[in-house]
Amino acid sequence: MTSEDIKEVIIAIIKDIDEEADFDGLDADKPLRDQLELDSMDFLDIVMELRKRYKLQIPEQDYPQLATLNSCVAYLQPLLQDA
Amino acid sequence: MRCSLLVIGGGLSGLAAAIRAARFHPDVLLVEKHSRLGGLNSYFYRNDTLFETGLHAITNHAAAGDRKAPLNRLLRQLKLQRGDFSFCQQLGSEIRFLGQASLLFSNDPEVLFAEVRAQFPESWARFQRLLSLVADYDPFTPAPFRSARATLGEVLDNPLLTEMILCPLMYYGSSRADDIDLGQFVIMFRSLFLEGLFRPAGSIKDILEVLAGQLRALGGTIRTNCAVHELLTAGDHVIGAQIGKGERVECDRVISTVGHRETLRLLGRSENAACEPTARLSFVENIFQHQPWPEWQSLPKRTIIFFNRGERFSFHSPQSQGVDFTSGVICFPSHFEGMPGRSLDELRTTHLASYGYWKALAGTPGRYLDEKRQTARKSAQTLADLFGSFPANIVYEDTFTPVTIERYTGKIDGAIYGSPVKFPDGRFGCDNCFLAGTDQGFLGIVGSMLSGVSMVNQHILPRL
């Protein structure tokens, strides 16, 4: 997957969690949680959806690496290169 | 038979836990010993009417757009929409300490604030300090018991106002006699006074059907009339359960919503009741179905009235009598905005009761039934004292004693709020079995469902 694909996947997952999420002006280097008002429960959904869709096992200690859109790309790209 | 997650108990916390897990892993089995789902919040039919067993009002009302509100967070976690339900907000409720003071509150917190300001002007500044404490306190980080009564005593320095604030919060969410943990107080204060009360336009059955439908749609399995008789273990690890009529199910993980001591019993472990710091709290609930009562038409329509006739407000099960009528809760289920009209009206009353007294009586069915009728009469008399009259045209009445509640829900001592000690992280000495619901500690309908969700988030999903 390209980095753009991965961004689209993350945004699609968040849209699925919250239909009303507003992505206008989203800064890819700032935490998703603050910008989209996601709480820790919502955040877990991103991890679980990635597991469900791509069979990715993301250990709890790696959750902080999914903080921003760009850090998601950096962390997921090696894991999803064949996806 | 085997499943990945076994959920014990088909009440609201069990249903929420099962839905949450099934969203990501459908191999979930939920077992309920009763023929109907709902647990403490179920329903039954009498006199051609559906009656709810436990529902007065649901706390934690929130506007649809308020993303951070517990109700909306819960719906997101379960992948349910507000439109799946039809909610009606309270008209307004009252805390009435007879001969002393009365405070109104509604889903607009300013109503309560104005009442406190008008009736306790000398305490208004201190009440604002309490509001800051409620806003700043983090009730979700597990902490040792801290007395809300003592804290309010210091902050408010007004015994009457302290008791009036505590009364509804204790009746709707304290498992502890004469006090409430400060964290639980903060949760309940927000849930009742800052968020507010509502109910389904129909009945609890509608909510249960949406939840059961969602669980099935996600691939989960529900078995009613299916008790768990024994949890099978290897050391501190649960490997399966003996369920239903001699069936054995193997499972990787268990969420138990039936209570701490109740789960220890299933594990065949000794339960030490002496570890509980105060006696469990038991209640009686009376339901009166009546034809419209014109004499009450001039009375202001209240949704819930929390009343106390004593000099002080005490909150413990009575010692020498079956029921303590000194205080209680009166609920008018039709007094919510937009409730569809019915030809018959319903009202409900709750009082503190003694489990031991009723348990002893239950051995003599004639006396037990007679005492139940007496209880309904005395509760009716209490209402007549409060309102000047009581409907003479009762078409159906029923009384649930602590023994009734124990029989239908399995809660030890019929204690609806469970153990006075809670297990906030759900752990109680097993490495793959966790508590959710009443004894985890989040109470009420929204609270218990969030309990189920958060225990699954914490213990099940990261390890599936």
What are the tens digits of pLDDT across the range B137-149? 999 888 899 999 9
> pLDDT tens digits, residue range B263-294?
999 999 988 766 788 889 999 999 999 999 99
**Which residue, B430, B458, B462, B456, is CA-closest to B5?**
B456
**3 state DSSP class of B67:** coil
Q: How far apart are CA B288 and CA B394, in angstroms?
A: 7
Please answer yes or no on whether B24 and A51 come within 8 Å at the CB atom. yes
Residue A81 has pLDDT above 90, yes or no: no
Please answer yes or no on whether B462 and A41 come within 8 Å at the CB atom. no
Query: Among all chains, which residue has been given the structure tokens 């009581």?
Result: B390
Task: Identify the pLDDT of residue B273.
Answer: 65
Please answer yes or no on whether B462 and A52 come within 8 Å at the CB atom. no
Task: Identify the pLDDT of residue A40.
Answer: 85
Rg of chain A (C-alpha set)? 12
**Which residue, B155, B347, B415, B175, is CA-closest to B165?**
B155
Please answer yes or no on whether A17 and B457 come within 8 Å at the CB atom. no
Please answer yes or no on whether A18 and B77 come within 8 Å at the CB atom. no
In sequence order, the 6+-apart residues with CB closer than 8 A to the CB of A55 are none
Select the residue from A15, A41, A42, A56 to test the B interface by mutation, using most B Cβ atoms within 10 A: A41
> pLDDT tens digits, residue range B58-113?
999 999 989 889 999 999 999 999 999 999 999 999 999 999 999 999 999 999 99
> pLDDT tens digits, residue range B399-439?
999 999 999 999 999 999 999 999 999 999 999 999 999 99
Handedness of CA B402, B408, B411, B413 (dihedral sign): positive
Ordered structural domains, chain A, with CATH: 3-79 (1.10.1200.10)
Task: Identify the pLDDT of residue B351.
Answer: 98
Please answer yes or no on whether B68 and A60 come within 8 Å at the CB atom. no
Cβ pairs A/B, distance under 8 A: 26
Residue of chain A with shortest Cα separation from B78: A17
CB B313 within 8 A of CB B324: no
Option in A42, A52, A60 nearest B76 (CB): A42
Please answer yes or no on whether B68 and A48 come within 8 Å at the CB atom. no
Please answer yes or no on whether A37 and B67 come within 8 Å at the CB atom. yes
Min Cα separation A52/chain B (Å)? 6
**Which residue, B173, B161, B165, is CA-closest to B56?**
B173
Select the residue from B4, B450, B461, B463 to test the A interface by mutation, using most A Cβ atoms within 10 A: B461
Task: Identify the pLDDT of residue B224.
Answer: 98
Select the residue from A16, A44, A62, A63 to test the B interface by mutation, using most B Cβ atoms within 10 A: A44
Q: State the ipTM, two decimals.
A: 0.87
Strands (DSSP E) contained in B19-154 are 28-31, 43-46, 49-52, 87-89, 93-97, 101-105
Min Cα separation A12/chain B (Å)? 15
In chain B, which residues touch A (CB < 8 A)? 23-24, 65, 67-68, 73, 76-77, 453-454, 457, 461-462
Residue A9 has pLDDT above 80, yes or no: yes
In sequence order, the 6+-apart residues with CB closer than 8 A to the CB of B253 are B4, B5, B6, B238, B432, B433, B434, B459, B460, B463
In chain A, which residues touch B (CB < 8 A)? 17-18, 20, 37, 39, 41-42, 44-45, 48, 51-52, 60
Cβ neighbour number for residue B234 with a 10 Å cutoff = 8
Select the residue from A19, A22, A45 to test the B interface by mutation, using most B Cβ atoms within 10 A: A45
Q: How far apart are CA A22 and CA A7, in angstroms?
A: 15
**3 state DSSP class of A77:** coil
Please, is A47 exposed, middle or buried when counting C-beta atoms within 10 Å of its C-beta (0-12, 13-18, 19+)?
buried
**Which residue, B271, B248, B221, is CA-closest to B439?**
B271
Residue A64 has pLDDT above 70, yes or no: yes
Please answer yes or no on whether B24 and A39 come within 8 Å at the CB atom. no
Contacts of B65 in chain A (CB under 8 A): 20
Strands (DSSP E) contained in B20-173 are 28-31, 43-46, 49-52, 87-89, 93-97, 101-105
Q: How far apart are CA B439 and CA B455, in angstroms?
A: 12
Min Cα separation A33/chain B (Å)? 12
**Confidence class for position A20, pLDDT limits 50, 70, 90:** confident
Option in B24, B73, B462 nearest A41 (CB): B73
Task: Identify the pLDDT of residue B274.
Answer: 61
In sequence order, the 6+-apart residues with CB closer than 8 A to the CB of A10 are A32, A46, A69, A72
Min Cα separation A31/chain B (Å)? 17
**Which residue, A71, A9, A7, A68, is CA-closest to A38?**
A68
**Confidence class for position B319, pLDDT limits 50, 70, 90:** confident
What's the rounded mean pLDDT across residues B288-301?
Answer: 95
Select the residue from A15, A48, A60 to test the B interface by mutation, using most B Cβ atoms within 10 A: A48
Task: Identify the pLDDT of residue A82.
Answer: 80
Q: In this prediction, what percent of chain B has a pLDDT beyond 70?
A: 100
**Which residue, B359, B346, B404, is CA-closest to B199?**
B346
What's the rounded mean pLDDT across residues A3-16?
Answer: 92
Task: Identify the pLDDT of residue B276.
Answer: 86
Q: Give bridge partners of residue B306 from the DSSP assignment.
A: B95, B329
What does the H/E/C string look like for A33-74? HHHHCCCHHHHHHHHHHHHHHHCCCCCHHHHHHHCEHHHHHH
Please answer yes or no on whether B457 and A41 come within 8 Å at the CB atom. yes
What's the rounded mean pLDDT across residues B20-45?
Answer: 96
Mean pLDDT, chain B, whole residue set: 96
Contacts of A37 in chain B (CB under 8 A): 67-68
Q: How far apart are CA B158 and CA B169, in angstroms?
A: 17
What's the rounded mean pLDDT across residues B107-130?
Answer: 98
Task: Record the tokens describing residue B97, joined without a space.
Answer: 């300490």
